[in-house]
Amino acid sequence: MISPSSILSASQKNERSVAGFLRDLIAIKSLSGQEERVIARIREEMQACAYDEVTVDGMGNILGRIGRGKHVIAFDAHVDTVDVGNPANWTVDPFAGAEKDGVIYGRGACDMKGALASIVHGGKLIRQLGLEGEYTLFVVGSVQEEDCDGLCWQYIINEDRIRPEAVVIAEPTNLGVYRGHRGRMEIEVRTSGVSCHGSAPERGVNAIYRMAPIVRDIETLNDRLGGEPFLGKGTVTIAEIRSTSPSLCAVADSSTIHLDRRLAATDTMDSALREIRDLPSVRAAGADVVVLEYRVPSWRGVTYPVQKYYPTWLLAEDHPLLRAGAGNFESLFGAPAGIGRWVFSTNGVAVMGMHGIPCLGFGPGNEIHAHMATEQIPVEHLVKAVAWYAAFPAAYLSTINHT
């Protein structure tokens, strides 16, 4: 049996390889739906790391397989990133993968190409150190997460027919072990009116005026939403408001607000919709309340329509998967793992939220840097994460065999 110290030592010796791979990934721009080039680079790396099989599915997700044991485990990191925003806000080239004083900078460094590099090289260490066992490990580079979290895993589970018994979501946790996060929904509230010439507005019905009290009621609703202590309360906010009219010299004949609804553990899609539909202003305006749909082709041209409903998920405190993750951390690093939860949403909304497959979070980098012009990741995090991923499958099997 390989000791935890030997696994950590092997990961430390691999530091330049994983850091170099991450810098290569950062150099390849990969917005949602435009991931083809970065997928090709990941395939190349997985093959060099002696994976048993590397495939790209119909949607464009890349899946590297190690082993053929009966226990199916998956590590997930999405390969797409958000754009850079205003380039003037960056002090480094966002696509150079600059490294300074033990920190790598650039778009995707933290969210989440650093994690992708780490899970791929975790698989490399499994092969190098002979850590295979009675498990099949899928190392997944998933697509379109930034646009529609969980879409990729709905495809993997429903179409690829791969259903792991446990999934590690490698989104940044600052090397903590995370149990879940709130869900979310994208909702529109729509009011209609009657257009007329702006010189005589009394002849029409202004849809914006019908929307105005709804805006106030949504703000008040946010204060009333509840939840539970660990994941926190639900929230709702208006992200956008728009209207239509025949011209800027006319009364608006429609108005729409876009709601970002964050779901507590006590919320469901039906309860969240009911809370909005029951608002007096919504009833008075006869407004429509609609859950939006995502329908955008992947880089392979596959369109896989889904509702923009992303359920909450929360792993129980005594779950064997959580014990395995925390125990693995303590064995490797000699300190208790920090147990936490994400503020944002991840692919866990599909894996556990929709399909009930237990999920655990562990990833390098601090989520506070996600989507920022200061995006960065410590090289030390990459090294520790590679060791954790390499050791995790055996730690998981040991835990479930003693449960």
Amino acid at 116: L
Report residue 227: phi and psi, to 5°. 175, -155
CA dihedral 101, 102, 104, 109 (to 10 degrees): -140
Token pair 């208790």 is at which residue?
336
297-336: burial string, b at 16+ Cβ within 10 Å, e else: ebbbeeebebebbbbbbbbeeebbbbbbbbbbbebbeeee
Is the Cβ–Cβ distance between 186 and 259 less than 8 Å? yes
253 is catalytic: no
Report residue 278: phi and psi, to 5°. -85, -5
Give whole-number Cα distances, 126 to 12, 49, 69, in Å: 14, 10, 14
State the catalytic residue, choosing from 145, 171, 253, 275.
145
State the catalytic residue, choosing from 76, 80, 146, 171.
80
217 is catalytic: no
Helix count and strand count (H, E) for the chain: 11, 22
The alpha carbon of residue 261 and the mean position of all alpha carbons in its chain are separated, in whole angstroms, by 16
Is the Cβ–Cβ distance between 135 and 345 less than 8 Å? no
Residues annotated as catalytic are 80, 145
